[in-house]
């Protein structure tokens, strides 16, 4: 007897989820972990809380050098279940929130610094989403093969993390009246006004003299990390704190927390992998690893790093073109000696090689090169027409490049967009974002993808590729081919030797 349409079983088509949730074991300061566990939220919500806290603290540390700074953090970046517990962790003073008074702008959040001062850390579970389309991406597959091939020397990495933290001392900072007068961005951290309310600054910028005077009136201190060269202060931030000793202990804890959480992700073979929506950079567990920790992995695995000399400025020269300013193009791109060219104008009596000058000239060469590097950083990443030391040197040596850089920052001719660009005053950020897009296109979608197509194990760290020593020359040839394909001209040093 035949079945009728009504008696047939209806087939239910289940929609596949768009992403997979992956768990990651990391570490956090014991007081913070205990404060969350006391809320007795249950495993799923607790994981969501720790995920948010880790993302917020890591973002704060990368941007400001501390984990308790007020940061704009949009709800789209929160774990999916945040509505179930966000009010509880705010009421428990684990997290502080300042709602934005401007429609469409993200609220600001910061973690309670009282919960971050600890020398003991506890394992916690966090999670992140991996979209299915990412898992199928050839670059992701190649990255995971490369990641899994590496030796991650846990003991050496953890010891280096402790050494880095223990190396932070008061001698690294200027305090109160010793801070050079100027306009700085401020990290308030845990600072209270006279009436005991938490300070949420309306502006992140102020003059040091005003901040220092206000701090002393409140019995507080202002700290400033000593730069390599005191003449370049524009990218440094003031830290408002209750006491210098408390501040240093916090900085040590922040350093260990950030580095040890990064190490745990490596040990757990965390496949965190995403493309930044603004600059298309490939963010992975290695990209934000400190240079000291990364060197341990490089040495342990006999890796070789390949990158362009003065990479960002080589790309800048290629972007503006040889016809705009040929001397700048040659120094930055063709020869990769931009810093040296500027350093010799800053101080003609220097040497970059011990055998070609006196020890004093060699030491002076390092200082002058740092000055040149600081100048280039401000010119590429700072506001248009910035008044910085030695800008006249650059302007006289490369006048057309100087004019082009400021034109781009003022006009944003490619209509670059970013959440940090809210007014025309922010247009200067377009140049650095544009260079990062070029960098990602070449090194990730060009060189890294070609390595994986040829079954070469490789790791990307934004503006470089690291490969096993045996593959270095083949990858160097890939870079040369991609330079021809993209029409780029820059120098890639081959050192150290095999």
Residues ≥6 apart with Cβ < 8 Å to 354? 362
pTM reported for the whole predicted model: 0.85
| DSSP string for residues in 162-206 | HHHHHT--GGGEEEGGGSPSSEEEEE--S-B-TTSPBP--S-SEE
User: In this predicted structure, what is the pLDDT of residue 296?
Assistant: 97
Where residue 330 falls among pLDDT bands split at 50, 70, 90?
very high
Burial classification of residue 336, based on how many CB atoms lie within 10 Å of its CB (0-12 exposed, 13-18 middle, 19 or more buried): buried
Token pair of 378, please?
A: 């401000």
For residues 356-366, average pLDDT: 90
With 50 as the cut, is the pLDDT of residue 19 above it? yes
Distance CA 368, CA 352 (A): 10
Query: CA 374, CA 311: separation in Å to the nearest integer?
Result: 15
Give the mean model confidence (pLDDT) for residues 403-408: 96
Q: Domains, the chain, ranges and CATH?
A: 170-249 (3.10.20), 308-454 (no CATH)
Give the tens place of pLDDT for each residue, 28-62.
999 999 999 999 999 989 999 999 999 899 888 88
Three-class SS state of 126: strand
d(CA 447, CA 179): 45
pLDDT above 70 (res 2):
no
Q: Is the pLDDT of residue 174 over 70?
A: yes
Check pLDDT > 90 for residue 431.
Answer: yes
Q: Between these two residues, 284 and 231, which has the higher pLDDT value?
A: 284
Q: What is the pLDDT of residues 119-148, one digit of tens each?
A: 788 889 888 878 888 888 899 999 999 999
Q: For residues 96 and 113, is the Cβ–Cβ distance under 8 A?
A: no
- Give the per-residue pLDDT at 200: 52
* 3-class state of residue 354 by DSSP: helix
**Cβ atoms 23, 135 nearer than 8 A:** no
Asked whether residue 385 carries a pLDDT value surpassing 80, the answer given is: yes
**What pLDDT does 402 receive?**
97
What is the SS3 assignment for 135?
helix
Say how many Å lie between the first and final Cα of the chain, rounded: 79
Pair 300, 151: CB distance under 8 Å: yes
């Amino acid at each position: 007897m035949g079945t009728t349409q009504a008696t047939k079983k209806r087939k239910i088509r289940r929609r596949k989820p768009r992403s997979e949730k992956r768990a990651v074991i990391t570490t956090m300061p014991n007081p913070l972990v205990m404060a969350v566990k006391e809320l007795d939220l249950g495993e799923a919500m607790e994981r969501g809380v720790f995920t948010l806290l880790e993302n917020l603290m890591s973002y704060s540390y990368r941007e400001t050098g501390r984990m308790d700074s007020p940061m704009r953090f949009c709800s789209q970046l929160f774990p999916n279940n945040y509505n179930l517990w966000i009010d509880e962790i705010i009421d428990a003073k684990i997290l502080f929130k300042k709602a934005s008074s401007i429609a469409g702008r993200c609220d600001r959040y910061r973690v309670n610094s009282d919960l971050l001062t600890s020398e003991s850390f506890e394992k916690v579970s966090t999670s992140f989403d991996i979209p299915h389309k990412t898992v199928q991406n050839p670059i992701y597959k190649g990255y995971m093969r490369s990641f899994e091939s590496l030796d991650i020397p846990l003991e050496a990495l953890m010891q280096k993390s402790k050494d880095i933290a223990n190396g932070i001392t008061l001698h690294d900072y200027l305090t109160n009246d010793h801070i050079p007068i100027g306009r700085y961005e401020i990290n308030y951290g845990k600072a209270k006004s006279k009436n005991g309310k938490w300070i949420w600054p309306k502006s992140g910028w102020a003059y040091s003299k005003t901040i220092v005077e206000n701090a002393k009136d409140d019995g507080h201190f202002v700290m400033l990390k000593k730069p390599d060269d005191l003449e370049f202060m524009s990218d440094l931030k003031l830290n408002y704190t209750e006491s210098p000793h408390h501040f240093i202990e916090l900085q040590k804890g922040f350093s260990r927390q950030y580095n040890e959480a990064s190490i745990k992700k490596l040990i757990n073979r965390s496949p965190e992998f995403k493309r930044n929506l603004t600059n298309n950079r490939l963010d992975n567990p290695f990209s934000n690893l400190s240079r000291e920790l990364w060197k341990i992995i490089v040495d342990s695995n006999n890796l070789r790093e390949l990158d362009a000399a003065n990479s960002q400025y080589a790309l800048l020269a290629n972007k503006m073109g040889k016809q705009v300013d040929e001397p700048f193009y040659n120094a930055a791109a063709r020869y990769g000696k931009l810093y040296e060219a500027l350093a010799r104008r800053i101080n003609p009596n220097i040497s970059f090689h011990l055998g070609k000058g006196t020890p004093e000239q060699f030491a002076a060469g390092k200082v002058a090169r740092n000055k040149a590097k600081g100048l280039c950083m401000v010119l590429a990443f700072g506001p248009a027409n910035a008044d910085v030391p030695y800008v006249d040197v650059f302007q006289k040596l490369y006048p057309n490049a100087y004019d082009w850089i400021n034109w781009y920052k003022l006009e944003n001719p490619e209509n670059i967009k970013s959440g940090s660009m809210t007014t025309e005053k922010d247009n200067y950020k377009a140049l650095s974002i544009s260079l990062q897009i070029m960098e990602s296109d070449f090194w990730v979608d060009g060189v890294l993808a070609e390595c994986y197509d040829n079954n070469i194990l490789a790791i990307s760290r934004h503006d470089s590729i690291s490969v096993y020593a045996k593959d270095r020359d083949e990858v160097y040839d890939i870079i040369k081919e991609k330079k021809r394909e993209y029409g780029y001209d820059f120098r890639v040093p081959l050192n150290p030797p095999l």
